């Protein structure tokens, strides 16, 4: 027994050593397997090094001249220049002219340290083909994941954007948070060339502008791609997006700039709203009509109202800080009720309550409490008239249901909607909408009276 003890201990030690070696081998095998797996997963097929990518921040879609399909233009950021660039000013230098037939241009837009973006485009029968052709003369792979703005050309929009939306919805790189605008009166690709003094690129400028306008005014109705698509697919509502164009500033005074200054670049101006009838652009709304549409749709935002002083000289500005819109579907008016609307058609009631603060007044004598009530009535009357005029244009002239009365009918009375929907556009001018607007001026700012010189 005593003699067996050391042998048994040796055996145990040997077995322990074998177990340790086996565990070590398993560990090494696991590390090798995991490393191989990790490399196989991401290292081989989908490797994208940042220096090999052309990061597109905006795209424009136009109708290609004399051809079918789409002319796709991308604004590509030049990362080394765009970082820290305080604003790209001035017309671009760089490469001008096309490099091949059918390729309209390749331009650069300048910043203080040189060009910050490269604008490049090519036509194709489909978006994918245009993108592939762009790749042919771009030294980097186009990457659309950082897209912030989509500009639609007017001609393309009039022809219809339905086929375009398929690519925008299907391709994983297109993000539905990009802003959509229509270039009015100018080719969409020109909008991408426009430098912006406050941003490093046109895309950043347009995106920044849309984000600001979305909350600060009702004269514009900024829409992201997803909102546009939602209105496109939903029954009983037509999509709208802002229209952008160029405004030319006054040239510099040569007496003040003796060295001479280049012609100032054009400014990007938002000019009302493009109205689509499902996929096709059918007309434009003015800024005031856009504000009426915003009130009809009940989209929350601030805006400014200006009107003449009641009975005296001067003007009053009221900053509308919030509003609520209540829309009701009313039962059809009984036959013989004196209405022009067909008795079988639904009626709608829209009640808007606007709450605002006195921003400025130049009335002489200054407004008192009674006069403020009259200002409220005047503003309400103006908004009511704006809304009625906008509805008449939308329903009568454009035959577009941008306010979504059909959608409201569909949600509340789907059976009735199914009956009316085939003829809805024809029925739109006959749809009766009762509009009532109330304006309430809640505060008069930091002063109550007027600022006047002491006698």
Partner 1 sequence: MGSARSPSSPRGRPGGPAGPRLGEARLLGNRLPNSQIFWLAFGSRLTISVALLPVLTLSRAGRDAWLASLMGFIPSAAIAWLVSYAAERFAGEGIAGQARRALGRIGGSLVVAVFLWSYLHLAAVLLREYAEAIVTIILPTTPVAAVLIVVGLLVAIAAEQDTPTLGRMASLVGPFMVLSILLIALLVTPELEMARLRPVLTSGARGLLSGVLVSSVWHTTVFWFPALAPSVLDMRSGRRTLLVAVASGSVSVSFISALAVSALTGDLAVKSSFPLFMVARLVSLGELVQRIDGVAVGAWGFGLIMTASLVLHSAAVALADLTGLPDHRRIVKPLTLLGVVLAMMTARDVIELRQFADARVLVPYVAAHVWLPTLILAAAARLRAGRTAGLR
Q: What does the binding site for partner 1 look like in residue numbers (CB under 8 A)?
A: 33-34, 37-38, 40-42, 44-46, 169, 172, 175-177, 211, 224, 226, 229-230, 233-234, 410-412, 414
Alpha-carbon span 29 to 321, nearest angstrom: 66
What's the min distance (Å) between Cβ of 138 and partner 1? 19
The residue among 141 and 364 lying less far from partner 1, judged by its C-beta, is 141
What 3-state DSSP class applies to 389? helix
The residue among 73 and 325 lying less far from partner 1, judged by its C-beta, is 325
* φ/ψ (deg, to 5) at 326: -115, 125
Contact at 8 Å (CB) between 265 and 272? Answer: no
What's the min distance (Å) between Cβ of 57 and partner 1? 13
The residue among 186 and 230 lying less far from partner 1, judged by its C-beta, is 230
What's the min distance (Å) between Cβ of 91 and partner 1? 28
Alpha-carbon span 441 to 439, nearest angstrom: 7
The residue among 45 and 337 lying less far from partner 1, judged by its C-beta, is 45
What 3-state DSSP class applies to 218? coil
In which element (H, E) is residue 108 found?
strand 106-111
Q: What angle do CA 315, 321, 327 make, to 5 degrees?
A: 105
Alpha-carbon span 241 to 181, nearest angstrom: 6
Q: How far, rounded to the nearest angstrom, does the alpha carbon of residue 366 sit from its chain's CA centroid?
A: 41
What's the min distance (Å) between Cβ of 68 and partner 1? 26
What 3-state DSSP class applies to 302? coil
The residue among 234 and 377 lying less far from partner 1, judged by its C-beta, is 234
Residue showing tokens 């993000």: 175
The total number of residues written for the chain in this structure? 455
For the chain, the first-to-last Cα distance in angstroms comes to 126
Q: What are 449's two structure tokens?
A: 């009276």
What's the min distance (Å) between Cβ of 454 and partner 1? 47
Contact at 8 Å (CB) between 372 and 364? Answer: no
What's the min distance (Å) between Cβ of 175 and partner 1? 6
The residue among 225 and 244 lying less far from partner 1, judged by its C-beta, is 225
Alpha-carbon span 297 to 442, nearest angstrom: 23
What's the min distance (Å) between Cβ of 172 and partner 1? 6
What's the min distance (Å) between Cβ of 92 and partner 1? 26
The residue among 233 and 306 lying less far from partner 1, judged by its C-beta, is 233
Alpha-carbon span 13 to 333, nearest angstrom: 99
CB-based burial of residue 365 (10 Å sphere; 0-12 exposed, 13-18 middle, 19+ buried)? exposed
Alpha-carbon span 208 to 364, nearest angstrom: 39
Q: How far, rounded to the nearest angstrom, does the alpha carbon of residue 145 sit from its chain's CA centroid?
A: 16
Q: What angle do CA 299, 304, 309 make, to 5 degrees?
A: 135
* φ/ψ (deg, to 5) at 446: -85, -10
The residue among 42 and 250 lying less far from partner 1, judged by its C-beta, is 42
The residue among 269 and 412 lying less far from partner 1, judged by its C-beta, is 412
Alpha-carbon span 89 to 195, nearest angstrom: 5
What's the min distance (Å) between Cβ of 47 and partner 1? 9
What's the min distance (Å) between Cβ of 417 and partner 1? 8
The residue among 25 and 312 lying less far from partner 1, judged by its C-beta, is 25
The residue among 294 and 363 lying less far from partner 1, judged by its C-beta, is 294
The packing angle between helices 225-233 and 162-170, to 10°, is 120
What's the min distance (Å) between Cβ of 154 and partner 1? 26
What's the min distance (Å) between Cβ of 343 and partner 1? 24
Comparing C-alpha atoms, which of 209, 228, 9, 200 is closest to residue 109?
200
The residue among 329 and 341 lying less far from partner 1, judged by its C-beta, is 329
């Amino acid at each position: 027994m005593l003699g067996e003890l050391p042998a048994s201990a040796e055996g145990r030690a040997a077995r322990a050593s074998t177990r340790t070696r086996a565990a070590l081998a398993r560990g090494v095998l696991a590390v090798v397997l995991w490393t191989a797996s990790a490399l196989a997963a991401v290292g081989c097929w989908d490797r994208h090094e940042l220096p090999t990518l052309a990061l597109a921040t905006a795209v424009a879609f136009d109708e290609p001249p004399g051809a079918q399909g789409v002319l796709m233009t991308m604004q590509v950021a030049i990362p080394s220049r765009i970082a820290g660039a305080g604003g790209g000013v001035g017309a671009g230098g760089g490469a001008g002219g096309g490099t091949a037939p059918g390729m309209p241009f390749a331009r650069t837009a300048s910043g203080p340290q040189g060009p910050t973006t490269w604008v490049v485009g090519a036509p194709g029968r489909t978006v994918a083909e245009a993108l592939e052709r762009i790749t042919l003369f771009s030294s980097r792979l186009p990457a659309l994941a950082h897209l912030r703005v989509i500009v639609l050309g007017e001609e393309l929009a009039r022809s219809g954007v339905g086929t375009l939306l398929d690519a925008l919805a299907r391709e994983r790189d297109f993000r539905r948070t990009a802003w959509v605008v229509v270039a009015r009166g100018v080719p969409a690709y020109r909008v991408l060339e426009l430098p912006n003094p406050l941003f490093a690129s046109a895309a950043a400028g347009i995106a920044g502008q849309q984000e600001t306008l979305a909350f600060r005014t009702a004269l514009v109705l900024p829409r992201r791609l997803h909102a546009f698509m939602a209105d496109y697919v939903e029954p009983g509502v037509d999509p709208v997006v802002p229209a952008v164009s160029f405004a030319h500033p006054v040239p510099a005074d040569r007496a003040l700039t003796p060295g001479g200054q280049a012609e100032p670049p054009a400014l990007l101006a938002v000019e009302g709203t493009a109205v689509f009838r499902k996929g096709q652009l059918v007309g434009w709304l003015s800024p005031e009509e856009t504000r009426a549409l915003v009130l009809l749709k009940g989209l929350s935002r601030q805006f400014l109202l200006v009107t003449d002083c009641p009975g005296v000289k001067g003007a009053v500005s009221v900053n509308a800080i919030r509003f609520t819109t209540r829309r009701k579907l009313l039962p059809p008016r009984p036959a013989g009720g004196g209405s022009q609307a067909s008795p079988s058609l639904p009626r709608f009631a829209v009640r808007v309550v606007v709450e605002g603060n006195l921003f400025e007044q130049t009335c002489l004598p200054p407004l008192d409490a009674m006069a403020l009530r009259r200002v409220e009535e005047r503003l309400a009357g103006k908004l009511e008239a704006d809304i009625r005029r906008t509805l008449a244009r939308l329903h009568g002239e454009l035959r577009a249901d941008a306010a979504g009365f059909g959608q409201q009918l569909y949600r509340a009375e789907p059976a009735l909607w199914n009956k009316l929907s085939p003829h809805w556009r024809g029925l739109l001018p006959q749809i009766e909408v009762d509009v009532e607007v109330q304006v309430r001026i809640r505060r008069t700012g930091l002063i109550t009276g007027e600022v006047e010189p002491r006698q």
